[in-house]
């Protein structure tokens, strides 16, 4: 092989390699945006909670970040373990994104004190993660937060464990707006069912879409 051909091959291979590396890091995302469903109608200043470290958290605490919001309780005998197992998969796949946080709120704050939630977080294998907070507070405030984002959270004696809640997560952008993809049928997905593996993939893909949009906003490109 002549020196000229080697040089030409090098010029072709390097850009392709750089492109493949960039895809491996950020994931393949089509040039699209998510539907903006608007900001929920509640006074965020009136809702104050505490995380597993007993540090005050409110919706405004995570302004400027993309939020994956869900509801659960630590003693849940049915869907919560599978939900958070799948959320952990999404958390691990998206861990490299700086402006992203997972917020999981309990629907049983009487049981789920910060100490209990901290132990739960450790047992889930994310004890050292600064990207996932487990939130407790006053029941009425927690349920108001859920309802504001069209999620279910309530005490229900007929439900397993005594509480009913959505088994889905929602995506909230850096300004507090609810965001969602449009399905192939042209419908707003709204929430991502955490019991469905393919919806976990969609959740991960859509977070990447929002991350790219957020980067453009910060750079003044949008």
pLDDT tens sequence across 84-96: 999 999 999 999 9
- Which residues on adjacent β-strands are paired with residue 106? 72
DSSP annotation of 46: G
The domain total for the chain is: 2
Element (H, E) at 70: strand 66-72
Q: Are residues 141 and 39 in the same domain?
A: yes
Predicted local confidence at residue 187, as pLDDT: 85
Q: Are residues 202 and 149 in the same domain?
A: yes
Predicted local confidence at residue 85, as pLDDT: 95
Q: Are residues 21 and 46 in the same domain?
A: no
Predicted local confidence at residue 221, as pLDDT: 64
* The two three-digit tokens of residue 26, written as one number: 């950020």
Q: Are residues 42 and 65 in the same domain?
A: yes
Q: Are residues 9 and 101 in the same domain?
A: no
Percent of the chain residues past pLDDT 90, beyond the cut: 66
Burial class (CB in 10 A: 0-12, 13-18, 19+), 43: exposed
Q: Which residue has the tokens 């949009």?
A: 213
Domain that holds residue 118: 35-218
Predicted local confidence at residue 15, as pLDDT: 39
Q: Are residues 22 and 39 in the same domain?
A: no
Which CATH number goes with the domain that contains 177? 3.40.30.10
* The two three-digit tokens of residue 214, written as one number: 């957020």
Q: Are residues 113 and 16 in the same domain?
A: no
Predicted local confidence at residue 7, as pLDDT: 38
Q: Are residues 80 and 157 in the same domain?
A: yes
* The two three-digit tokens of residue 121, written as one number: 């977080």
Radius of gyration of the chain (CA): 20
Cα–Cα distance for residue pair 222/207, rounded to 1 Å: 18
Cα–Cα distance for residue pair 91/102, rounded to 1 Å: 8
Between the alpha carbon of residue 62 and those of residues 53, 56, 57, 146, the distances in Å are 16, 12, 8, 16
Predicted local confidence at residue 196, as pLDDT: 85
Q: Are residues 4 and 84 in the same domain?
A: no
Q: Tell me the pTM.
A: 0.83
- Report, as ranges of residue numbers, the positions in the chain whose pLDDT lies below 70: 1-32, 42-45, 221-222
Predicted local confidence at residue 44, as pLDDT: 66
Predicted local confidence at residue 31, as pLDDT: 45
* The two three-digit tokens of residue 119, written as one number: 């132990």
Predicted local confidence at residue 69, as pLDDT: 97
Q: Are residues 108 and 214 in the same domain?
A: yes
């Amino acid at each position: 092989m002549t020196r000229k051909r080697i040089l030409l091959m090098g010029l072709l291979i390097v850009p392709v390699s750089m492109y493949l590396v960039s895809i491996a890091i950020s994931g393949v995302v089509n040039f699209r945006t998510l539907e903006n469903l608007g900001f929920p109608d509640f006074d965020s200043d009136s809702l104050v909670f505490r995380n597993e470290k007993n540090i005050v958290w409110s919706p405004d605490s995570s302004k400027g970040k993309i939020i994956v919001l869900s509801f659960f309780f630590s003693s849940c005998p049915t869907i919560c373990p599978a939900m958070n197992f799948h959320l952990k998969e999404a958390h691990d796949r998206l861990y490299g994104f700086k402006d992203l946080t997972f917020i999981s709120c309990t629907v049983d704050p009487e049981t789920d004190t910060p100490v209990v939630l901290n132990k739960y977080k450790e047992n889930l294998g994310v004890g050292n993660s600064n990207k996932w907070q487990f939130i407790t507070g006053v029941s009425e405030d927690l349920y108001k937060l859920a309802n504001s984002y069209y999620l279910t959270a309530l005490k229900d004696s007929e439900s397993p464990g005594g509480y009913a809640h959505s088994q889905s997560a929602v995506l909230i952008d850096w300004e507090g707006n609810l965001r969602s993809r449009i399905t192939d049928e042209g419908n707003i997905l709204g929430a991502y069912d955490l019991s469905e593996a393919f919806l976990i993939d969609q959740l991960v893909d859509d977070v990447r879409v929002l991350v790219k949009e957020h980067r453009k906003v910060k750079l003044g490109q949008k």
